[in-house]
Structure formats: structure tokens, C-alpha cells
């Protein structure tokens, strides 16, 4: 990449890309569907390093031309259109190849945050929001440890762990940050909202875990949007499951309590705040009863996990209210 860059230094970008095409077209493993075993091949990683070395120091306009060149050369647009228009999982091999190509070639892990944000924006922005969410899940969502294929049911079937959500959370944080200049806060919140129903509505615990992993700023903005739009019941459920995640994943419970405290300031009237707090307590009670019923009705192989969930919820509720009492006592002693 560096050699080609120096050899073509005096040429315009269009002519430089012609030479790049000559180099790339001769290597099957540099193509989106060219390698027979993409999971075990270093071809795409080499392609990514080559592209990064070639474009380092180039301005955004030139990089945009490079992206369009790669997009057209690999026929990536049509491939992406196929997977986002199909039922999730019906084009598993193509989903895998798009994931590998985007991560290795366009989103090289060696890139700095600004470059990463630029290339990720180029990948996502041409598509409607619902397709952006699908594509984000394909690129950063959980995959099978056996064959590398995207696991679409992971967020629906049961509680997941941090590892399965870290890639998505990191991408959301990046788009929300200052590096991604083309994204507004509303854009990112809408994207997270769409993501939470890919391919169907996620378990609320997984939704809460993604928000916590995405950082306090995104988390608050997302919750505040629910408050502003009068969705107190949904907001209460999110806070309850954030408390549960804090207990399960050993985060400080005051994180959930302080988030609730800040969100309460968003409500425009005392009645709205009171209604939200009532919803919150009702949600704790209803969630407890739902989990208890699952324990009583569960089969033997499910009994332990259901009981453990119930145990964590009871502990979470106690810790949550303890932090609220500490805040209340602290405020009383200071007045």
C-alpha cells in the first residue's frame, strides 16, 4: 500500500484507483465472495491494511472516492440490499461475508476513531434507519462460535452477556461521539430504538444492558426521550431492568439511581414525576410476579436460571431502594 502510494504520488485519485484495481482484481481473496474459506483467510485483513496505508493522510473527499470505488468494485451495495431486504438468517453466508468484509477492509481495527467513524458512516448512511439497524447488527452483533454466522435470536431468547453486546455498544458510542460529525443525537437514539427490535423486540434486560454499555450520556438521552414523549411505563421498565443489570454485572447501583434522578428532572410537572415513580414501583412488583411464576411453572432444566433471575431481581430492588434512601437521608441532613 505504501509503495503504491509513493509510486502514484503525482497522479490524480481517479488514476491511482485504476492502479489499485489492477492490483486487487488479480487476488481472489480480496473479493467479497472470492475466498472459499473467509473465516480462516487473511486476504481481507491484508486488503484492509493495504487500503489503510494507501489512504492515510488523504482528505475526506479523496477517501469518499475510495469508498465509492471499493463499494462498486465489490458490488457491496447490491449484496447489502439483498441481506437487509431478506428475512434475517435466510442469507447467512452472505451476511457473514459482508460482516467480514466491512470489519476487515473498511473498518480496520488499526484505524483511529475518526477514520473508523468516517468509514462506518459511509456504510450506514445511504440506507433507511431500519436497514441501518439491521446492517449494524450484521457487522457488530453476536456470532456463533462454531461457524461465525450472525446469531439473530440471541437478544430475544434469553438474557445475554456483555461480550455479545460490546461490539454494538462500541459502535453506538462512536456514532454518538464528536468523531461522527454527520450523526445527531436524535439519529443515534433512533438507531438504538430500531436496533432493539432487530429482528424482533429484544428482552428488556438486553436492551438495558446495551444502554449501560453505551455510556451514561447515551443512556440518559435515550431515557429522556421516553420521558419527553410520555412513555412512562416503558421508561419504568427500562429503569427496573437497568437496576437488574447493575446487580447482575456488578455495576454500582447508584448509576441506575442517579440516572432515574436525572430523568425525573425532564418531566415538566410534579404529576408526571409522581406517575413515573408509581409506574416504577408497579413494574418492580409485576416483574417480580412474572419471574416467580416462571420459577413455579418452569421445567427442571429452566428452574435454576429462573430462580437465579428472581434472586438477582430481589437483590437489585433492595440495592436500588437502599441507594434512594441514602440520597433522601443525605438531602434531609443537608437541609
Q: Which of 82 and 304 is assigned the larger pLDDT?
A: 82
Query: Residues 87-144: pLDDT tens digits?
Result: 999 999 999 999 999 998 889 766 788 889 999 999 999 999 999 999 999 999 999 9
Q: Which of 168 and 28 is assigned the larger pLDDT?
A: 168
pLDDT at 10: 44
Nearest Cα to Cα of residue 171 among 151, 192, 186, 190: 192
6 Rama class: left (phi>0) / alpha (psi -120 to 50) / beta: alpha
Residue 220's Cβ-count burial label (10 Å; 0-12, 13-18, 19+) is middle
Q: What is the pTM of this model?
A: 0.90
The alpha-helical segments, DSSP class H, found in 184-269 are 185-195, 204-214, 216-228, 232-248, 253-264
Name which of 22-26, 168-172, 298-302, 306-310 the model is least confident about. 298-302
Query: Residues 179-228: pLDDT tens digits?
Result: 888 999 999 999 999 999 999 999 999 999 999 999 999 999 999 999 99
DSSP 294: H
Instruction: Enumerate domains of the chain plus CATH numbers.
Output: 230-327 (1.20.58)
User: Dihedral of CA 103/106/107/109: which sign?
Assistant: positive
Distance CA(101)–CA(94), nearest Å, equals: 10
DSSP 80: H
pLDDT at 22: 67
Q: Is the pLDDT assigned to residue 16 strictly greater than 80?
A: no
Amino acid at each position: 500500500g505504501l509503495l503504491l502510494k509513493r509510486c502514484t504520488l503525482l497522479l490524480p485519485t481517479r488514476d491511482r484507483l485504476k492502479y489499485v484495481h489492477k492490483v486487487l482484481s488479480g487476488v481472489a481473496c480480496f473479493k467479497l465472495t472470492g475466498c472459499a474459506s473467509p473465516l480462516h483467510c487473511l486476504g481481507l485483513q491484508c486488503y484492509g491494511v493495504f487500503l489503510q496505508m494507501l489512504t492515510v493522510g488523504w482528505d475526506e473527499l479523496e477517501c469518499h472516492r475510495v469508498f465509492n470505488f471499493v463499494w462498486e468494485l465489490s458490488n457491496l451495495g447490491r449484496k447489502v440490499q439483498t441481506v437487509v431486504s431478506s428475512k434475517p438468517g435466510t442469507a447467512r453466508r452472505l451476511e457473514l461475508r459482508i460482516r467480514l468484509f466491512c470489519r476487515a477492509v473498511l473498518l480496520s481495527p488499526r484505524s483511529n476513531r475518526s477514520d473508523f467513524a468516517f468509514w462506518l458512516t459511509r456504510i450506514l448512511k445511504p440506507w433507511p434507519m431500519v436497514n441501518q439497524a439491521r446492517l449494524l447488527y450484521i457487522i457488530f452483533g453476536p456470532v456463533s462460535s462454531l461457524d461465525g454466522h450472525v446469531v439473530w435470536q440471541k437478544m430475544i431468547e434469553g438474557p445475554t452477556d456483555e461480550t455479545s453486546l460490546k461490539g454494538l455498544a462500541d459502535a453506538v458510542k462512536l456514532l454518538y461521539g464528536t468523531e461522527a460529525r454527520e450523526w445527531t443525537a436524535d439519529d443515534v437514539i433512533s438507531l438504538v430504538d430500531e436496533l432493539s427490535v432487530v429482528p424482533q423486540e429484544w428482552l428488556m434486560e438486553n436492551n438495558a444492558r446495551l444502554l449501560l454499555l453505551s455510556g451514561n450520556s447515551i443512556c440518559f438521552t435515550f431515557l429522556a426521550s421516553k420521558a419527553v414523549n410520555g412513555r412512562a411505563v416503558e421508561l419504568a421498565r427500562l429503569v427496573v431492568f437497568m437496576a437488574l443489570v447493575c446487580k447482575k454485572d456488578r455495576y454500582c447501583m447508584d448509576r441506575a439511581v442517579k440516572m432515574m434522578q436525572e430523568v425525573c428532572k425532564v418531566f415538566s410537572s410534579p404529576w408526571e414525576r409522581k406517575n413515573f415513580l408509581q409506574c416504577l414501583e408497579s413494574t418492580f412488583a409485576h416483574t417480580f410476579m412474572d419471574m416467580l411464576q416462571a420459577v413455579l411453572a418452569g421445567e427442571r432444566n429452566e428452574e435454576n436460571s429462573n430462580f437465579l433471575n428472581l434472586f438477582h431481581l430481589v437483590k437489585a430492588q433492595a440495592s436500588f431502594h437502599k441507594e434512594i434512601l441514602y440520597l433522601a437521608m443525605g438531602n434531609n441532613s443537608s437541609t
